[in-house]
Amino acid sequence: PRAAFVILLNSTDSLCYELTVALAPAKEVSSFTHIPGVQPSVTLTEFFECEETVKKDPRVQEALAKRGVTNMEHVCVDPWSAGRYGDPLEKDHRIVRSLIWIRNEDGDNLYAHPVDGLAVVVDLAKMEVARVDDMENIPVPKENWNYSSKYIKPEDRRKDLKPLDIIQPDGVSFQVDGWNVKWQKWDFRIGFTHREGLVLYQLAYNDKDKRRPIIYR
């Protein structure tokens, strides 16, 4: 039977559970275990909510104003794992340590403008700022360091590259059906993960009209 392993976070109390869920033939939870003393990874939803929480906090706004930053539209927040370093908040709270960068304009490389000396501890369960660590008022770097094409001047572009033309007058040699790809005698599925990038699944080879499984993942 097909089954899925699930890590579940109860956002009301920050407790973590591990589940095994049967997918076929019946859809049911076959195991449900509380895992004490651990925290799941920060979710994408928490990531975005944390940024808005930090930007709306008056203490953060005051700390940024001291550094000459008043336009909150260009303030960017990265919630980072807080680790375990003996901070009392670590024991009973789901916390992240949020660092701040500034964009000079839309599309600007924010990492060229770090707000050093300022860190914001956020309780993700309550989605509120637990503490603002304003350690040192270090000027925010103003100089831009952008690498996207719109910032590169024509005179700065490379001129030593010759044209590359790929032409297949009779069409391509592969077929794509959703996530499934057939190429020559190969048959496989493609997928992506945030950690590994491109992943190939269920690789098989057509050997004399017989589908031979080669690699599952």
63-110 residue pLDDT tens: 999 999 999 999 999 999 888 888 888 887 899 999 999 999 999 999
Q: What is the pLDDT of residue 115?
A: 97
* pLDDT of 53: 97
Has this prediction a pTM greater than 0.75? no
Q: Is 136 helix (H, G, I), strand (E, B) or coil?
A: coil
Average of pLDDT values for 112-125? 96
Average pLDDT, integer, range 134-163: 91
Angle between helices 44-56 and 58-66 (to 10 degrees): 70
The answer to whether the beta carbons of residues 103 and 73 sit under 8 Å apart is: no
- pLDDT over 90, % of the chain: 73
pLDDT, residue 21, reads 93
